Amino acid sequence: MEMLERLAGLMEEHKDDLVESLMINSGKTRSQALGEVNASIDRLRRADLDARKIYGEYMPGDWDPTTIETEAVVRREPFGVVLAIIPFNYPLFDAVSKFAYSIVAGNAVVIKPPSADPIPVLLFAKLVEESGFPREAFSVLTIPGRESDRLIADRRIQVISFTGSSMTGKKVIQTAGIKQFIMELGGGDPAIVLPDADLDFAAERIAAGIYSYAGQRCDAIKLILVAEEIYSEFKDKLVSEFSKVVVGDPRDEKTTMGPLISPESVDEMMKSVDEAVKAGGRVLCGGKRLGETYVEPTLIEILDKNALRSLKLYKEEIFAPIVLITSFSDLEEAIELANGRSYGLDAAIFGHNIDQVRKLVRFLEFGAIYVNDMPRHGMGYYPFGGRKESGIRREGVGYSIEYVTAYKTIVYNFREKGGVEVSVGNGLLRSLCIYLSARCRWDTSPEAHLQRMCARRSSRSRPFLSAANPPPYQHNPWPPCKVGHESFRLHRPTESSAQPP
């Protein structure tokens, strides 16, 4: 933990350099880059919440005849080597987060940075080295994704923590074979607007959830479902919010949305716009290319539900500031449209009718649901991860660490060796009998109980309790003891029992 604190301090010292790298290499606005750097520093300093999850368990035996006079300790141990595959959209934070929970558990870490914007990860690696972290337990491999198969399949790597597309995630699993996986995959979230929602607030938050970092976020909103009775009013408010977006150089303080990561991403977005228009969609705002990697945030209305379901924008995740909007007549239709996509990362609900909100929460098939806010994973205080094709397991403070540690069970056999060796007159045993007499209201004296118990044969000679031979009460039996060399087990008598066992 001291090393992580030193590393956090170094990141504070070099904050301006890290912010600059995210602006130039990743295309983030200054506020977005600063937010990612601050979240990364906080993540290191809250690794103590991860460490608190590394604890074991003690398990008493005597569950059945095979476990009599045994006990176990269940430990948590590091797997060994964790491979962290970093996405381009949050290169610094994801590298820091995966590094933190992996090394707190005692693992070595190999980081594969994104090919599109590796500089923030390389700067972080330099700071890790300066912090004094053992060089043999940390490495960064700057290789293209297409050349990563040998790395992914290496048997020395026991855990793969991957953030990226569902398609790439499937390939990683197929190539890696049997390993532990933490996978935060595709998203593209739906937002559902109920009739009693605050429309101004909902429009502002949903718009931000679409254009923030140019829609290149796993938790970006890609589908808006609006109740019919408020559809027109809400649509107008959302268009108004889109008109406020300033697209431009992310280094300009006035810019609210910067570029996409590559020209190919813009090409894919424009093809999706053309497909939607041909299927009957209507571009309400945006839809234009402004340069090699710049686009307008785009809102497309499509009311035909069958046409909606056929669109690439509905079936796949397009990493761009583009969203579909349509109406719904009742909650069942909203649920069906939201769940109809192959992804299940996050969903947003705007409204105050608690019965409707609770129904949506119950039936929406998503890893996280945000009520009256846009989806945003932030620093990871709340665990996030998807269902269906959106991932395996969870990222989050105090959660991811569970998947980079292995359970190890150690069973001790004390049969004929353990137990409490006491004589019949032992004061501790006599005190126990007095306590049991008082608690169970036995009519005979403690001395009589003592004589009965010592006269019994070993508990191993008794038939084991089962469904056909149930105990006289429903609580766990007292633990086995030894008097001389004879084992006995104490049971609470039933109301109808005249004598103790």
End-to-end CA distance of the chain: 54
Among 289, 293, 211, 218, smallest CA distance to 256 is for 211
DSSP state of 247: B
Active site residue 184: yes
3-state SS of 404-418 is: CEEEEEEEEECCCCC
Active site residue 218: yes
Go through 258-295 and write b for each residue having 16 or more CB atoms within 10 A of its CB, e for each that does not.
bbbbeeebbebbbebbeebeebebebbbbbeeeeebbb
- The DSSP line for 444-489 is S-HHHHHHHHHHS--GGGSPPP-SSS--SSSSPPPPPEEETTEEE-
Q: Please give the Cα distance from 396 to 376 (Å, whole number).
A: 12
The number of helix segments (H) and strand segments (E) in the chain equals 17, 21
Of 69, 129, 130, 184, the active-site residue reads 184
Beta-sheet strand order (sheet of 138-140):
138-140, 108-112, 81-85, 159-163, 180-184, 391-392
Strand partners, 128: none
DSSP state of 230: G
Question: Please, are residues 89 and 212 in contact by the beta-carbon 8 Å criterion?
Answer: no
| Amino acid residing at 202 | A
Report the 10 Å Cβ neighbour count for 135.
9
Q: Please give the Cα distance from 499 to 478 (Å, whole number).
A: 17
Of 36, 69, 218, 317, the active-site residue reads 218
Catalytic residues: 184, 218
